[in-house]
Structure 1
Amino acid sequence: MSGNTFGTLFAVTNFGESHGPAIGCVIDGCPPGMALSEEDIQPDLDRRRPGTSRHVTQRQEEDRVEILSGVYEGQTTGTPICLLIRNTDQRSKDYSEIAQTFRPGHADYSYLQKYGVRDPRGGGRSSARLTAPMVAAGAVAKKWLAQKYGMLVRGCMTQIGEIVIPFESWDHVPNNPFFAPVADVSALESYMDSLRKAGDSCGARIRVTASGVPPGLGEPLYDKLDADIAWAMMGINAVKGVDIGAGFASVAQRGTTHGDSMTPQGFRSNNAGGVLGGISTGQDLDVSIAVKPTSSIISPRETINMQGQATEVVTKGRHDPCVGIRATPIAEAMLALVVMEHALRQRAQNADVNPPLAPIRSSFL
């Protein structure tokens, strides 16, 4: 099965299944000499892991990461880093009733059509559980980028279902289970409680940014930074749309508004989302993703079975009524991995370039 390795210079190969003994990844290309331990990686896994509130799946996984290789005496060696996360709370019997049917919105049907066989236990390789190794790899990339450039990658939820969440402060994000940038999340909690009682699910919009990005990252024509960001975000389970900068709102903008005016003090706006011509400008990378409603719901839905006959399916088990709630650290990780890849490319090809003009940032922040 191809398509399991992300990146070239910072290559992350993802392995495992939702209900197998373990999941993990191998990072090949991490520069040597960086201090690295499980404690550097675990905080991001704790942010993503299940069972952290009543609003997400109650599957109880510690998601404790183990570094099996690539680190000696607390430093990266430049050789492949293997990260392992053991599965400890699988309940495969929850999926025994749907082994012969297809769940609407899931990859059951498409996997069977492609491979002629599928793993019905939690979706196997199509499970969002396989985002955990990417979060672990993203934590490694985040640390290197922070040390090299002072880069900060962070995200928040800006909409859940019909509720648009205003931005108050990044300081609120760690203090609630929604990663919402607001102090009061009571309306969000009530909304999720009513959704769960109705046996239904909803989608979400997640915003993720990277500040401290150096200008010059990205390669025309087909390795553009924003193109790779969109590709990476679409690789996250349940993501159905990506906005960079103004995104689809740019359709209604005029040229006099959309083009980010430049002054000696910096850019006046950031409708471009920190990328021009596929190359970073030095402004914040600003990305939003649309996450679809959870497909695993207890409400009965029409489907067919393995014989092609009409039937009805109810998805039992422990599922997030909104998978977008835990998507913020995943989106952060994927953005960090893309930037890491392009930072290493820039270092390899253009390390000796000295632009005649000093970088400018944003003057409107």
Structure 2
Amino acid sequence: MTPKNLYETFNKVYGKSAERTFFAPGRINLIGEHIDYNGGLVFPCAISQGTYALVSKRTDRNVNFYSMNFEELGIIESNLDNIEYLTEDDWANYPKGVLKYVQEDYTLDHGFDVLYFGNIPNGAGLSSSASIDVVTTVMVNNMFSLDIPQIDIVHNTRRVENEFMGVNTGIMDQYAITFGRKDSALLLDTQKAEHRLVPIKLKDMSIVIMNTNKVRGLTDSKYNQRLEECQRALKILQEFYDIQDLCELNQGQLEVKREAFLEDQIAYNRAFHAITENERVKQAVKVLEAGDIKAFGDLMYLSHESLKTDYEVTGVELDTLVDAAKKSEYCLGARVTGAGFGGCAIAIVEDKGLDAFIESVGLEYKEIIGYDASFYQAHVGDGAHEIIS
């Protein structure tokens, strides 16, 4: 249900009522991290938290953006005929990028006023930016009856991140936010851009999102550096194998070529993580489909350890959360979710011990880090859609 105050705020900001309402979720990745840009399998799901967009038509070609999350910036103005990246437009560059690329293939014959509200913590690694991109695309798709195929929504919104914003993300975030389904995760082949749904049956357990409250921005992190290190590894391995992506190989195929990495141990470590993480995703789906949540939890711990030691993207905050979670008798597994460098971790927790888990992990985190973490349950929800009242 859309929060009532969104409609009241829209009326206050624009002096008229919103005509239509759209929503795009955030996402968590259950396992399979930093391999979507290496041609690997990932296992994300959409969550109930996300981004709302309320919109009303204009008679001219002006577009006004307003975010309740950045009220201090006020209305940010643009025009469909003159869209360019402007540093001072801050967050609004995301929807502006969407409009720029949509207009390469489709006609938008009028402008609009739009209000955004997101209940995804900014910089928490739950894909707030991709959520904005996708909700904007679904909004204009429906408003203008464009019939954009879902897979094109995925590719175009990734293009916004890559080309307009300059962040070399993979396909996972946009894909999960577009194709997500309630109570299911997506086994996504990022090389083929194909997926199948896998039911998530947690019975008397919940997914708990643990936010470090250490904000990190992808453009300010070492995300692009990790991608470059993987490309170095791929180039070395292509001397021996006819491959396009690291995740086409298995662990044995990598290890027999270890001597080729004598001068670049970092590249080997990055490749080792990508390839073994891809194999963990395959195992994770098998054990989940067999109903073995404990085995899935064990794979989550292994995933986090690899992201810590081989890929070096966790940091003291995330490691503290996962270490504290592992000590709880109610926790079956925990790991970083998203790019790392701050942001969030997730845990599978028995419902009967949910409060005790949050209390014990929260206390240990504050004692070590010095400030509070935030905790909330994740409900697996649907992908981006229009909200019909």
TM-score, scaled relative to structure 2: 0.27
Higher RCO structure (Cα 8 Å, ≥6 apart): 2
More helix by share: 2
